[in-house]
Amino acid sequence: MPVGSAITAILSFSLCIFVLKIGGDTKLWRLWWMDLLGVLDVDTDRAARKAQERQMAFMCHILFVLFAALSVSCIYWTVDGIRELRRDKTVIEREIDMGREEIEGVRKKLGQ
């Protein structure tokens, strides 16, 4: 499972950087978003545009914090999973694995 959390960490880190970039230049991204939606933004006065840009910057900073927390969490669980895979198994864990392998062997023989 460390692979899945590593991929999630990489994706959330890249989204973190992207959202921070959007939050830094909200005027460009607000216009791009309006163009994408097909909304002609000619009736909005300057105060409303500035309010929209502030709201967009605020939301981008919140998303930045959330994606950064997700990245850190996924990195932690990836490292923990790799450490768990590399550690030596205890005697009880080895016996449980041997028992499972024997059960699987019997099931395969009975199934054929």
What pTM does this model have? Answer: 0.72
Greater confidence (90 vs 38) lies with: 90
Tokens of 86: 């590399």
In the block, residue with structure tokens 């062997």? 105
pLDDT digits (tens, 9 = 90+) for 46-81: 898 889 889 999 999 999 999 999 999 999 999 999
CB 79 within 8 A of CB 6: no
Beta strands in 12-108 (DSSP E): none
Greater confidence (71 vs 40) lies with: 71
Per-residue pLDDT band for 87 (boundaries 50, 70, 90) equals confident
Domain boundaries, the chain: 2-111
> Is the backbone of residue 25 left (phi > 0), alpha (psi -120 to 50) or beta?
beta
Per-residue pLDDT band for 112 (boundaries 50, 70, 90) equals low
Of the chain, the percentage scoring pLDDT greater than 70 comes to 96
Cα separation of 12 and 70, whole Å?
7
Tokens of 108: 């395969």
The set of residues, in sequence order, having a beta carbon less than 8 Å from that of 27 and lying 6+ positions away, is: 53
Q: What does the pLDDT read at residue 44?
A: 76
Q: What does the pLDDT read at residue 88?
A: 87
Tokens of 14: 């890249």
